[in-house]
Amino acid sequence: MIDALTIVQVAVAIIAGLLCLVLGLAGRKPSDLTLGATALVEVLLIVQLVVSIVSPAVGNDPTGDALEFGLYLGSAILLPVGAGFWALIDRSKWATVILGVANLAIAVMVYRMHQIWFVQGG
Amino acid sequence: MTASTSPPEQSSSAGIGRVLVVVYAILALAATGRSFYQIVSEFDEAPVAYSLSALAAVVYILATIALVAPGETWRRVALATIGFELVGVLVVGTMSLVVPELFAHASVWSWFGAGYLFIPLVLPVLGLLYLRRRRPVVTAQRPSERVTGA
């Protein structure tokens, strides 16, 4: 895991989450903007997956438990997919709100993954 | 909030219900993932708390399904599971403060769900309110009180 990348990722997820939440509550249906923001969050999660697979090989081991880390990452990767499908099927403003909720949940999970990787152990 | 743009109450409450379902699903996912991890790798540290974690996870999954599924039976299942969650978070939350050596291990309900932004404490209340609104057909025929059976 790379510290700076992860911080950017949390920030992006929070911004995307708030954006979707605000636009959704304002009555907007899922749009290229909100779905695109969610897709960006998903792409960053995939990047994170690759990084976390490669990291231990180059001597960057997690301080916490790799299994716990993997469970968080796996769950997080599923969220945009689920919320995205929901948005494609249910084209109402609530689908946009749901995109926001999923993105914010991911922000929390990535933050937690950061703790597991860097802060725990010993 | 204004009446002009959004359709009437009912569809708006149905929409909020959808968001509720999603939040429940995320919590079910979180609780299942965490309890799976706890049981696999550190069950001996706090068997009571971790067993409760697993029970909570199952109940969250059941509640999510019950919120989605139509019909009076599922509504009752939803009431029972969500009521159980509310009791669970209150009891375990209190116990984690009073008897920390038993319960002060991270579970969804420890410290009233503080590790999950208190969502486990707030969610059942919202869920019960939502179910009261959804209270269906039966009420349309008989306006008498059926609310008390929660």
Number of A–B residue contacts, CB under 8 Å: 46
The alpha carbon of residue B54 and the mean position of all alpha carbons in its chain are separated, in whole angstroms, by 14
A113-A115-A117-A121 Cα dihedral, nearest 10 degrees = -130
Tell me the per-residue pLDDT of B60-69, one tens digit each, with 9 for 90 and over: 999 999 988 8
Tell me the per-residue pLDDT of A108-119, one tens digit each, with 9 for 90 and over: 999 989 988 988
For residue B71, what pLDDT is reported?
86
Contacts 24+ apart (CB under 8 A), B95-104: B102/B46, B102/B48, B102/B49, B103/B46, B103/B48, B103/B49, B104/B49
CATH for A108: 1.20.120
Tell me the per-residue pLDDT of A29-49, one tens digit each, with 9 for 90 and over: 999 999 999 999 999 999 999
Residue A24: which pLDDT band, with cuts at 50, 70 and 90? very high
**A6-32 average pLDDT score:** 95
- CB spacing of A94 vs B117 below 8 angstroms: no
The number of folded domains in chain A is 1
For residue B7, what pLDDT is reported?
43
Compare A22 and B30 and report the one with higher pLDDT.
A22
- On average, the pLDDT of chain A sits at 91
Residue B106: which pLDDT band, with cuts at 50, 70 and 90? low
Q: Which residues of A touch B34 (CB under 8 A)?
A: 71
Helix and strand counts by DSSP (H, E) for chain B: 6, 0
Res B8 pLDDT > 80: no
- On average, the pLDDT of chain B sits at 78
Tell me the per-residue pLDDT of B41-91, one tens digit each, with 9 for 90 and over: 877 777 777 888 888 899 999 999 998 888 889 999 999 999 999 998 898
For residue B139, what pLDDT is reported?
46
How large a percentage of chain B has pLDDT more than 90? 19
Q: Which residue of B has its CA nearest to A67?
A: B37
Q: Which residues of A touch B15 (CB under 8 A)?
A: 92-94, 97
For residue B4, what pLDDT is reported?
42
Please give the residue range of the domain that contains residue A72.
3-119
In angstroms, rounded to a whole number, what is the distance separating the alpha carbons of residues B46 and B17?
Answer: 35
- Residues of chain B by 3-state class (helix, strand, coil), percent to 5: 80, 0, 20
- CB spacing of B26 vs A27 below 8 angstroms: no
For chain A, positions 8-67, list CB contacts with chain B under 8 A. Answer: 27, 65, 67
Q: How far is A98 from chain B (nearest CA, A)?
A: 6
**A10-39 average pLDDT score:** 95
Q: How far is A59 from chain B (nearest CA, A)?
A: 24
For residue B107, what pLDDT is reported?
72
Res B103 pLDDT > 70: no
Residue B96: which pLDDT band, with cuts at 50, 70 and 90? confident
